[in-house]
Amino acid sequence: MVNLLTSSAIFFNFLRLAMAQEQNRAAQSVEVNNSLSPGNSNLSTNDAAGFSGANQATSPPSGIAAEPRPAQSVDVNNSLSLGNSNPSTNEAAGLGGANQVTSPPSGIAAEPQQAANREAGQKKWLLLYNFTTGITYDDNIFISHQNKRADEVFTVSGGLTLGLGDYRDLQENYLLAQYLLAGFFYVRNSQENSPEQDLALRTEFRFSKLTLQTQTRYEFLKGANRQVGNFVSHNLIDNLVRFAYDYSDKTRFFLSFEQITNLYKNYLSSYEYIGRLGGEYLITPKIKLGGEAVIGTLDQEASPSGTYAQLRLLAAYGLTGKLSFQLGAGGEIRHYDSDGGLTKATPVFSLGLTYHPFPDTSIALNGYRNVNASPSAAGENFVATGVAVQLRQLFFQRVTVGISSGYENDQYRATQAEAAERGRADNYFFIQPTLTYRFRSRLSASLSYEFRRNASNESSFTFSDNRVSIFAGVNF
């Protein structure tokens, strides 16, 4: 799917880095739990980014995206669970759904900007602008199994970020708003030209021991969708409200509610409502353990509605500037309101790891397993299990070399007791090396190559694709 996600990753990653203080550059080069920083355009779920509830404010449907969601150095004093522990098929984080045909590599704006850092360190507010343009050659823009069609796609995108309060560290009261608009223009298939949008808002308010957090996201995406095997138009709406209560210096309880809506034109939309209740305990300054109970409903068009419950063990480890690790693991019981009823049990988990072995080197790893609604077939869900890794190395303060790779397995299963299992199984893989050069403090250019392949036991969903992209970006 011509997806805005990787474009927004460039823009949103720059924001966090620009806001970071200069001395923390190495430790904050990637983020795991920043809900406003969607990195992965193909991951299948919200959990792809991390940890029980590390919600990206946009949980993507199935699919690995062009690269793993950037991960951040995590302070274990932060809550273990903020977002969606059972992501639906939103394309914001998934490995299989929306695949940006012309997504600029995330490295293009991923290095800190010293001028912006100095500005951010002196103000209680921040206003940043971003502009990116580039071209992608794609040898299979419709991800077809037999009739490949190549095209050149021009991309123009721009956006802005507004930060108020503690927008740098996101610990005290703050407001962070981001908007990105991108246009995609096909040389040989102009009928597919389209705009895409990404709007995100995140707030936090502290009242003595009580903390209120909100996250809102809207995305409009159009392009080839791996789950559908065709071009689709997709609207994503994700809203989250979370309350956290500090019972003591070491103990915290939390309660959250989330609504996720995926609207597909000519395909199956889905509506998910999630409640979470849990607690966490700081065992040592670096280790935190907790637990979480999740209750939710997932309604898919023309299909039985499903109600599910999860129990998860939460764990987090943080070593400032070097290593952070988050894990949420447990089981799910899901009941479908079909004739005769149908109940299924599924192990679920999410993990995120970030490691900085050297000041200019970062390694990020994400893994997940969860249940998603299928946008392509009524009465069918799929279990997505995947892993994605990203390595980045900065040379001479100007050249960044990176490589991203990931794999996802999707197992489709019926949601009606009397229905026979269709048995569709997908195995999706991608790899993307990227080279980025920073000419000046605010200007950069990037070259990337991506190979992706989906092997399915239903041949109409099998495809391979090669993409080469050149992008230039400026931040001010």
Is residue 407 over pLDDT 90? yes
Alpha-carbon distance of 4 to 41, in angstroms, equals 8
Looking at CATH, the fold of the domain delimited by 5-475 is given as: Maltoporin; Chain A (2.40.170)
Place of tokens 């800190």: 112
Q: What is the mean pLDDT of residues 264-269?
A: 94
Q: What pLDDT shows up at residue 423? A: 87
Alpha helices in 246-386 (DSSP H): none
Is 60 exceeded by the pLDDT of residue 364? yes
Mean predicted confidence (pLDDT) in 337-350: 89
pLDDT greater at residue 465 or residue 95: 465
What is the residue extent of each domain of the chain?
5-475
Q: Report the pLDDT value the prediction gives residue 204, as an integer from 0 to 100.
A: 97
d(CA 271, CA 257) in angstroms, rounded, equals 14
**Least confident piece of the model among 66-75, 285-294, 373-382, 423-432:** 66-75
- Confidence category of residue 321, pLDDT binned at 50, 70, 90: confident
pLDDT in tens, 120-149: 556 789 999 999 999 999 999 999 998 899
State pLDDT tens for residues 27-45. 222 222 222 322 333 445 4
pLDDT tens for residues 6-24?
A: 444 434 443 433 333 323 3
| Per-residue pLDDT at 121 | 55
| Per-residue pLDDT band at 417 (split at 50, 70, 90) | confident
* CB proximity list for 77: less than 8 A, separation 6 or greater: 282, 288
130 near 97, Cβ under 8 Å? no
| Lowest-pLDDT range of 183-187, 440-444, 462-466, 468-472 | 440-444
Residue of 173, 149, 179, 146 whose CA lies nearest to 161: 179
Strand partners, 152: 137
**Which amino acid, one-letter code, is at 354?**
T
User: Roughly what angle, to the nearest 10 degrees, separates helices 114-122 and 5-19?
Assistant: 60
At 82-112, the pLDDT tens digits run: 443 333 333 333 343 333 444 444 434 333 3
The larger pLDDT score, comparing residue 108 to residue 296, is at 296
User: Residues 411-429: what's their mean pLDDT?
Assistant: 86
Distance CA 338, CA 303 (A): 8
| Contact residues for 35 (Cβ-Cβ < 8 A; gap 6+) | 54, 55, 56, 57, 58, 82, 83, 200, 202, 215, 217, 240
Percent of the chain with pLDDT over 90: 65
Task: State the Cα–Cα distance between residues 111 and 17, nearest whole angstrom.
Answer: 7
3-state secondary structure 199-233: EEEEEEEEECCEEEEEEEEEEEEEEEECCCCEEEE
C-alpha–C-alpha distance, residues 237 and 91, integer Å? 11
Answer whether residue 391 shows pLDDT above 80: yes
Least confident of 28-37, 71-80, 156-165, 274-283: 28-37
How many helices (DSSP H) and strands (DSSP E) are in the chain?
Answer: 2, 18
pTM for the full model? 0.79
CA distance 9 to 14: 8
| CB-based contact 335:306 (threshold 8 Å) | yes
Per-residue DSSP letters for 73-138? Answer: ---TTS-S--S-SS--S-TTS-BBSB--TTPPPGGGG-S--HHHHHHHHH-SEEEEEEEEEEEEEE
The single-letter DSSP state of residue 420 is P
Give the pLDDT confidence of 243-261 residue by residue, as tens digits: 999 999 999 999 999 999 9
Given a cut of 90, whether residue 441 has pLDDT beyond it is no
